[in-house]
């Protein structure tokens, strides 16, 4: 790796000060499972690396009546090792327990998976489906942003220079709500999504009261398919409704052909994976009804 | 050129200090600065698991940790697995089951498998395979490794019952 300086600030203010350093290429370091690979390969550059793991707010993992707050540096294993979070947000657990293998999950953070802004990021579709909000600190003060607006291009996020993703917030699960994330890969684990589908639903009896659907690996950014979720609202919980929503998701996908699959294959998978993700979300929603 | 950083950490129960550049991985620090060459470099990008160590209570790939991040941390490596002159049951089981050929992946497998057995004494085959999914072996085909971990689990259980 090329030379860089290293700082390990203790406060958000200090981190923002370092990230705002004029004329320097500064990168925030959480688990390092993307950043250090990219720095080594020359795919990203830094002359200052700011380790954000010693900052209190970025390590917060709090489930209470206002929902779930996940500090941007919290590694995946802390999320799936919390039984109360597993019960409340099983769709999120689907995603964080299949990012990398055991060693990666011991380091990789949910915030980093989002900030890295890969189109294939496994955590992002489910965060979009769950309506997550990003809390951002910066030289101009704090702001929040819906997670579907956070990724703007492959490898690029909406953070302005000097800004830092502090935490991700999820609203408390409603009665009758369920969510799921499913990933298609040609092996059992440790691979990058050919297609990923996240779905969340809120059921009122046998009718959809709300639904949100998002896809991975089928567009330059994780794709929020608002129309697919909206199509379910007010519809009966049956195969016809699910198939119609899955068809909207399939049509919305703009995949490319690469070594993981052709565009045509991916479009087909979008329909299949969306259908299955909705079905699993419904099954979970019925358990909480 | 930036200055080197002074790092103090605990490795295999012993206090250790070293100087490193911020850009150096913990894997490089272990091997090239501290001379602890039991931890192997395979892919150097987090995929193969050869460089697995226990860092702050979790297994990680040490190629994806900076040496400077080790300040004040507890680290365990393959060098800390044997019990004095006696092999750990995992090491013994890997030998008895021929769960290695070239041996580059072996320290990573043993460190990772020990972390599993320390927290779950009786993992089933599926659990073992998923836990070890971040460790690649191009020689054995994995079956012998899984059998070795199962045998070691049984030995550790017998020891605990004594």
- What's the CATH code of the domain at A106? 3.30.465.10
- Are residue A219 and residue A272 in the same domain, yes or no? yes
Per-residue DSSP letters for A83-108? HHHHHH-HHHHHHHTSSS-HHHHTT-
As a whole number, mean pLDDT of residues A154-181 equals 97
Token pair listed for A183: 């990933």
pLDDT digits (tens, 9 = 90+) for A56-112: 999 999 999 999 999 999 999 999 999 999 999 999 999 999 999 999 999 999 999
Q: Residue A250 CB: number of other CB atoms within 10 A?
A: 22
Q: Testing the interface with B: which of A28, A54, A103, A106 to mutate, by most B Cβ within 10 A? A: A103
Q: Are A45 and A39 in contact (CB under 8 A)?
A: yes
Helix (H, G, I), strand (E, B) or coil at A286: helix
pLDDT at res. A288: 83
- Domain assignment present for residue A8? The answer is no
Q: Do B59 and A5 touch (CB under 8 A)?
A: no
B128 near B149, Cβ under 8 Å? yes
Chain B residues inside the 8 Å CB shell of A4: 2, 22-23
Q: Are residues A229 and A208 in the same domain?
A: yes
Residues in A touching B59 (Cβ below 8 Å): 102-103, 106
What is the rounded (10 degree) CA torsion for A18, A20, A23, A24? 40
Rounded CA gap, B115 and B109, in Å? 10
Domain residues for the domain of A210 are 177-288
Helices A239-252, A263-288: axis angle to 10 degrees equals: 140
Average pLDDT, chain A: 97
* Overall residue count recorded for chain B in this entry: 162
The predicted structure's pLDDT at residue A268: 96
C-alpha separations of B87 from A260, B79, B153, B156 in Å: 43, 11, 14, 12
* B chain contacts of residue A101, beta-carbon cutoff 8 Å: 49, 133-135
Q: Which residue of A has its CA nearest to B127?
A: A102
Full pLDDT tens readout for chain B, 162 residues: 558 999 999 999 999 999 999 999 999 999 999 999 999 999 999 999 999 999 999 999 999 999 999 999 999 999 999 999 999 999 999 999 999 999 999 999 999 999 999 999 999 999 999 999 999 999 999 999 999 999 999 999 999 888
ipTM for this model: 0.96
What pLDDT does B2 receive? Answer: 58
The Cα B56–Cα B44 span in angstroms is 20
Pick the CATH number of B89-161 from 1.10.3720.10, 3.40.640.10, 1.10.150.120, 1.25.40.340: 1.10.150.120
In terms of Cβ atoms closer than 10 Å to its own Cβ (0-12, 13-18, 19+), residue B45 is middle
Contact B23 A51 (CB under 8 A): no
Q: Given A170, A196, A220, which residue is the final one in a domain?
A: A170
- Give the number of beta-carbon pairs within 8 Å between A and B: 87
For residue B5, list chain A residues with Cβ-Cβ distance below 8 A: 6
A225 lies in some domain: yes
Determine contact: A189 vs chain B, CB below 8 A.
yes
Half-sphere exposure of B91 (CA within 13 A, CB side): 13
Percent of chain A at pLDDT > 90 equals 97
H-run or E-run covering B76: strand B74-76
Residue A279: CATH number of its domain: 3.30.390.50
- Which of A30, A51, A102 to mutate to probe the B interface, most B CBs <10 Å? A102
Assign a CATH topology to domain B5-80. Ubiquitin-like (UB roll) (3.10.20)
* Residue at A99 is within a domain: yes
**Domain assignments of chain B as residue spans, ordered by start:** 5-80, 89-161
Number of domains into which chain A is organized = 2
Boundary of a domain, candidates A123, A144, A170 = A170
Give the confidence band of A187 by pLDDT, cuts at 50, 70, 90: confident
A140 and A200, same domain (yes or no): no
Cα A272 from Cα A270, distance rounded (Å): 6
- How many other C-beta atoms can be found within 10 angstroms of the C-beta atom of residue B144? 18
* Residue of A2, A6, A103 with shortest CB distance to B61: A103
Position A164 in a domain: yes
Q: Is A24 on the interface with B (CB under 8 A)?
A: no
A3 interfaces chain B, CB cutoff of 8 Å: yes
**Residue B131's closest chain A neighbor by CA?**
A102
Give B44's contacts in chain A (Cβ within 8 Å). 40
C-alpha–C-alpha distance, residues B144 and B53, integer Å: 22
**How many angstroms separate the CA atoms of B139 and B154, rounded?**
25
| A residues 54-83 lying closer than 8 A (beta carbon) to B | 75, 77
Tell me if A36 and B66 make a contact (CB, 8 A cut-off): yes
Task: Give the model's confidence band at A47: pLDDT under 50 very low, under 70 low, under 90 confident, else very high.
Answer: very high
pLDDT, tens only, A67-76: 999 999 999 9
Q: End of a domain among A109, A141, A170? A: A170
Average confidence (pLDDT) over A244-265: 95
Residue A109: strand, helix, or coil: strand
């Amino acid at each position: 790796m090329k030379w860089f300086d290293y700082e390990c600030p203790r406060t958000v203010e200090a981190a923002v000060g370092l990230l705002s350093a004029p004329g320097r290429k500064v990168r925030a370091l959480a688990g390092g499972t993307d950043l250090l690979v990219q720095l080594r390969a020359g795919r990203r550059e830094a002359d200052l690396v700011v380790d954000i793991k010693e900052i209190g707010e970025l390590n917060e993992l709090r489930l209470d009546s206002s929902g779930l707050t996940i500090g941007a540096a919290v590694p995946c294993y802390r999320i799936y090792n919390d039984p109360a979070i597993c019960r409340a947000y099983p769709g999120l657990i689907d995603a964080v327990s299949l990012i990398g293998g055991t060693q990666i999950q011991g380091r990789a953070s949910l915030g980093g998976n989002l900030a890295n802004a890969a189109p294939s990021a496994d955590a992002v579709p489910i965060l979009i489906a769950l309506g997550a909000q990003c809390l951002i600190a910066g030289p101009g003060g704090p702001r929040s942003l819906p997670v579907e607006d956070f990724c703007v291009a492959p490898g690029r996020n909406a953070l302005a220079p000097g800004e830092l993703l502090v935490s991700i917030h999820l609203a408390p699960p409603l009665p009758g709500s369920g969510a799921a994330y499913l990933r298609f890969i040609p092996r059992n684990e440790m691979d990058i999504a050919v297609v990923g589908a996240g779905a969340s639903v809120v059921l009122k009896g046998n009718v959809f009261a709300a639904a949100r659907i998002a896809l991975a690996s089928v567009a330059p950014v994780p794709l929020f398919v608002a129309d697919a979720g909206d199509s379910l609202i007010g519809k009966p919980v049956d195969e016809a409704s699910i198939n119609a929503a899955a068809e909207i998701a399939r049509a919305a996908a703009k995949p490319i052909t690469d070594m993981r699959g052709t565009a045509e294959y991916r479009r087909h998978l979008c329909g299949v994976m969306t259908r299955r993700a909705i079905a699993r979300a419904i099954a979970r929603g019925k358990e909480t009804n | 050129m930036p200055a080197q950083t002074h790092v103090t950490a605990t490795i295999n129960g012993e206090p250790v200090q070293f100087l490193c550049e911020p850009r150096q991985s913990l894997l490089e620090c272990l091997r090239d600065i501290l001379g602890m060459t039991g931890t192997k470099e395979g892919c150097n990008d987090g995929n193969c698991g050869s460089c697995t160590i226990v860092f702050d209570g979790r297994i990680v790939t040490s190629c994806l940790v900076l040496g400077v991040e080790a300040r004040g941390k507890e680290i365990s490596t393959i060098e800390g697995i044997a019990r004095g002159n006696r092999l750990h049951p995992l090491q013994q089981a890997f030998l008895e089951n021929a769960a290695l050929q070239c041996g580059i992946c072996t320290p990573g497998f043993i460190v990772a498998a020990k972390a599993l057995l320390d927290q779950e004494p009786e993992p089933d085959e599926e659990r073992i395979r998923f836990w070890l999914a971040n460790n690649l072996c191009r020689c054995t085909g994995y079956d012998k490794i899984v059998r070795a971990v199962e045998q070691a689990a049984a030995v550790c259980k017998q020891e605990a019952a004594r």
